[in-house]
Structure 1
Amino acid sequence: MPGMIHTHDKMIESRILTGQIKNVLYDVSAVTAGGQPVYEVAYAGNKYVRNTANVLQKTAERVRARVSNIQTLKAGDCYRIENHVYHEAIVPDDAVTATIVCMHSPSPGPIKVIGLDGYPEHLEFQRIERRAAEYMGFV
């Protein structure tokens, strides 16, 4: 399911090492009709261990997201995202981008993803891991 707008349960501080990224922040409001479904994120184990399944569970919540800020960042730039703020990171299709991220100051509450209608109530997947050298042109 494409669902790029999401939150984190930790403060995010990131530096762009190479390439570029657009960090888009959203104001999100609950709606009773229309909008998009919200999924809550859980993990089947330690989310930082390879091959841990990501689990998305659809909630009864529906929301409408509105762009509140767009930051276009390039190599050397830094950005920060507060806990539980909806955002989307957009990388150009024709670019290689690498960042280093520090996640700290956890706060209670679920991690959320704004989904799309027509997908199952329960989704499970594993993230694909790649070595940086595959994208950076060196070994």
Structure 2
Amino acid sequence: MSGMMLNSDNPYVSRLVDSFTARDDKAARKAVTEILHESGGRSLSPRWHPLGFFVVHLAKDREGRRYSIHCWPEHERSTQDPAWLIHRHLWDLESMILAGELRDRQYSAAEDVGSEADGPLYIAESADARLSILRRTDRRVALDDLGAQDWRAGTWYRIAANRFHESIVDHDASCLTLVRIGERVRPNSEVLGQEDAPASLTYAARSLPLRQAGEHIGECLRRAPTGR
């Protein structure tokens, strides 16, 4: 997911960071709009993510934490095949719902449990800015379902790096989130795979013109609550 991000000296970034820290979704929506307008299409590079949404990396704050937009446009996805949605990140993730809603289901995992495992563990590697590879490891995982929760515009949630999870947005719905991530706690993201799958799978992320991404984001924001 290439493209330069704005740094903390930018006044729009300061407003973005402040709104996220305060969990003020109204101010965050305004800050996101300002940053997209400020970029002028020169530095931001939206790309589709293997899990179906597109990502726009926006900015980095003074602590090195990165802020990105995740957008699931209505009736449009670009999900890897096979669609393995259950994964865990290589960092803690915080997410503010700016528009729409999603369902997030979290799992706890026990490794090396032999034949009782739910499936093989794959690691995600980035070959370059647009190419990601899933590689099968010799590890297996068994998952305990910790339950699902629905998150709507104006809410905020956190996913610890040790948690497997999956986020689902209905295909006929849209969702826009502002995400903040911190330092890495493991070398790679991890994905729960299937028994009969190949040893490696490749996903080539399609780029998305900033104008088109802006239109999708703008449509989501027009549907966002106005009374907050």
TM interval, shorter chain, is 0.7 to 0.9
Match of 2:104 in 1: 23
Question: Are the counterparts in 2 of residues 42 and 54 from structure 1 also a CA contact under 8 Å?
Answer: yes
CA contact (8 A) 2:176 2:217 kept: no
What is the Cα-based RMSD across aligned positions, in Å?
A: 1.9
Q: Mapping of 1:77-116 within 5 angstroms?
A: 77-116=155-194
Question: Is structure 2 residue 144 aligned with structure 1 residue 57?
Answer: no
Larger radius of gyration: 2
Which residue does 2:37 correspond to in 1? none
Q: Which runs of 5+ in 2 are unaligned?
A: 1-81, 221-228
- Per-residue deviation at 1:125? 0.9
Q: Secondary structure at the match of 2:216?
A: helix
Match of 2:151 in 1: 73
Q: For the residues of structure 2 that align with 1:14 and 1:71, how far apart are their CA atoms?
A: 13
The alpha-carbon distance between structure 1 residues 129 and 67, as it changes in their structure 2 partners (threshold 3 A), is farther
Aligned amino acid, residue 164 of structure 2 = Y
Structure 1 segments (4+ residues) deviating >3 Å: 134-138
For 1:95 and 1:8, locate their aligned partners in 2 and report how far apart those are by CA, in whole Å.
25
Deviates more, 1:28-37 or 1:88-97: 28-37
Which one of 118, 122, 125 corresponds to residue 42 of structure 1? 125
Q: Which residue of 1 aligns with 2:95?
A: 14
Residues 47-73 of structure 1: per-residue CA shift (max 9 Å, x gap): xx4xx2111000112222121132210
| TM-score under structure 2 length normalisation | 0.54
1:90-130 Cα offsets, whole Å, 9 max, x none, are: 11222101111111132134310001122210111122344
8 Å Cα contact 1:21-1:73 kept in structure 2: yes
Q: How far apart are the structure 1 equivalents of 2:182 and 2:103?
A: 22
Which structure ranks higher in relative contact order (CA pairs < 8 Å, sequence separation ≥ 6)?
Answer: 1
Deviations 1:14-54 (A, max 9, x none): 11111111111101123211521110111113xxx4xx211
> For residue 40 of structure 1, what is the amino acid of its counterpart?
I
| Structure 2 residue aligned with 1:122 | 200
Quick one: distance in 2 between partners of 1:98 and 1:12?
A: 15
- The TM-score with structure 1 as length reference comes to 0.85
Give the number of aligned pairs: 133
Per-residue CA distance 1:73-102 (angstroms, 9 max, x = gap): 001111111123211111122210111111
The 8 Å contact of residues 14 and 102 in structure 1, kept in 2 or not, is answered as: yes
Give, in whole Å, the separation in 2 of the partners of 1:3 and 1:43.
Answer: 17
Tell me the distance in 1 between the aligned counterparts of 2:109 and 2:218: 36
- The percentage of counterpart residues that share the same residue type is 26
- Which is richer in helix? 2
